[in-house]
Chains A and B, each alone.
Chain A
Amino acid sequence: MASNRRVLPGFGLALGFTWIYLSLIVLIPLGAMILKTTQMSWGEFWSIITSPRAVASYRLTFGASFVAAVINAVFGLLVAWVLVRVPFPGKRLVDALVDLPFALPTAVAGITLTALLSANGWIGKPLAEMGIRVAFTPLGIAVALVFIGLPFVVRTVQPVLLDLDREIEEAAASLGASRWKTFWRVILPPILPAAITGFALAFARAVGEYGSVVFIAGNMPMRTEITPLLIITRLEEYDYAGATALGVAMLGVSLVLLLIINLLQTHTRPRAAA
């Protein structure tokens, strides 16, 4: 491929433009934020990111994201299975609809879920009569996060399931395994890495999510305030140091999650190809 440099044109131009554009749009702005935290002492930084209000927001953000990602892992596997293995009319339509959360603006998802789940909404009303409140509680936040993370597990598991060789299942059955045992011992192991990758993607997306959550969250400090909202609150109070420290903390979490997802994907790919 190195010889391409002599054959194909445009290497210098393409790579130069790529690095300059990447620096201007992504690297310099992110770098400036990190630089700003170096203006404060380590003690200041630490006291901001470990303040009780911040810690309460992490607990909520990570807790709700985890619950939502678990729900998405279970139902994502189910939906992927149904799309690949169970014949039913209108499959293409359902398959296309799964990507709706990627295409629908988060603000629309936010106001709609709030309207549906508030005490006089279509779903919220019967639930309220049973004594369950969803909107403006952590439960509502989890529901919004299930919505925005819904496609991830389906889309990571679906291709692996399509590639799965049915002859192995036949072999398992002919050796006397029950269908249930075949699922646990033969089908699940190869699709599990893909499901875990999907889970991680859904979790990472949920941790940073803002648009679909603010409407349904209630946004009470210490109770229903997610970390991204706390950053905005600090910014609106002109507490730039507070917003910056929390922003850097969130960036650190995103980077760690990105690293984990990259590792997961390099581990899944060879298996998926095999």
Chain B
Amino acid sequence: MASAVVTLTRAAAANVATDDPRWVRVLLLAAAFGFLSLFLVLPLVAVFCHAFSAGVRAYISAITERDAAAALKLTLLVAAIALPLNVAFGIAAAWAIAHFDFRGKSLLTTLIDLPFSVSPVVSGLVFVLLFGARGLLGPWLTGHGIRIIFAVPGIVLATIFVTFPFVARELIPLMRAQGSAEEQAALTLGASPLKMFLRVTLPKIKWGLLHGVVLCNARAMGEFGAVSVVSGHIRGRTNTLPLHVEVLHSEYQSQAAFAVATLLTLLALVTLVLKTFIERKSHIR
């Protein structure tokens, strides 16, 4: 009897200790929801409302119009080039950093993160200074008829720069945590290096790799600042989707701008769904 009372009081005490009073919870929830609705939900709703403000037909014509289609195509092309390169780099960097010891390892790890802390505008600027008409290599490039700035190669370079760390950053801690025992076992059992990579390493890192690819892709397709500096905004030629949104917005074609923006918003929502799915499947974050 006495012990039952003690247990009861202890349970009650624990409850008071680690749970907030009901009114506090309600207040906290209300404040958090208020903040998130204002900053996240309302903008999401607004994109679609403005996009359909002139009806479904205007929406469809805005996203199927020739320059919008060209911008979509360019965005897909740029991501299709930048993504595989950064994946190859990410796997190579993680392999070296996670499994081997060498001089300058911590410097290398810091340098890989560098593009994330550089302003997007500076990321674009460096390529203009290198390849632009008045840049270091500008005269030589012009002499050979090669255009990088205000053309597709510059856009690809700027995109690779800003998305550079995504895959490596994801794989380095993952490979480090996993170790290389399975790889060593595969080699001892006579597997070739290629077979070891395809059959052992790749399956081990697949969720982390996919997570990195999804995030890298979202940034590659959505990058604005860096691409804006190198693109030159030539309609139908060097406009990616985000740049096309800007052009339409500056021409006061608000509804069309938001219609094109819904494509990028859908990309963001798909990214979040995939990301959440991968995280739940693999317990990574």
Contact = CB atoms under 8 A, between A and B. Distances in A.
Contacts of A232: 121, 228-229
A35 B261 CA distance: 39
A8 B184 contact: yes
A97 B120 CA distance: 24
A32 B136 contact: yes
Contacts of A100: 40, 44, 268, 272
Given A94-B36, A106-B224, A13 B43 contact: no
Interface string B83-114: 00100110011011001111000001011111
Interface residues of B, number: 98
B29 interface: yes
B222 interface: yes
A32 B184 contact: no
A218 interface: no
Interface string A180-224: 001000000000000000000000100111110001000000000
B160 A262 contact: no
B164 A25 contact: yes
A26 interface: yes
Contact of B114 (A105, A112, A258): A258
Nearest to A113: B43
A103 B13 contact: no
Contact of A18 (B28, B93, B249): B93
Contact of A27 (B111, B134, B265): B111
B237 interface: no
A1 interface: yes
Interface in A210-258: 210-211, 215, 228-229, 231-232, 235, 238, 240, 243-244, 247, 250-251, 254-255, 257-258
Contacts of A85: 20
Contacts of B193: 9-10
Nearest to A114: B249
B196 interface: yes
Contacts, number: 291
Interface in B15-50: 16-18, 20-21, 24-25, 28-29, 31-32, 35-36, 38-44, 46-47, 50
Nearest to A61: B119
B118 interface: yes
B191 to A, nearest CB: 10
A204 B18 contact: no
B208 to A, nearest CB: 17
Interface string A85-127: 1101000101111111111111111111101100000110000
A63 interface: no
Contacts of B241: 105
A207 B225 CA distance: 13
A10 B43 CA distance: 48
Contact of A103 (B24, B136, B272): B272
B58 interface: no
A19 B196 CA distance: 24
Given A82-B29, A106-B224, A112 B261 contact: yes
A13 B89 CA distance: 11
Given A1-B99, A105-B223, A18 B89 contact: yes
A260 B134 CA distance: 35
Interface string A106-150: 111111110110000011000000000000000000000011001
Interface string B67-86: 00000000000000000010
B246 to A, nearest CB: 6
Given A78-B31, A100-B44, A228 B272 contact: no
B118 A254 contact: yes
A26 B164 contact: yes
Interface string B163-191: 01000000000000000100110010000
A17 B86 CA distance: 12
A13 B276 contact: no
Contacts of B258: 111-112, 115
5 contacts: A8-B187, A22-B93, A33-B125, A247-B122, A257-B117
Given A21-B92, A147-B39, 13 more contacts: A7-B187, A8-B100, A8-B184, A25-B157, A29-B126, A29-B129, A78-B32, A92-B276, A103-B269, A103-B275, A106-B224, A116-B46, A244-B129
Closest 8 CB pairs of A and B: A208-B119, A105-B222, A173-B17, A211-B224, A210-B225, A29-B126, A228-B121, A9-B193
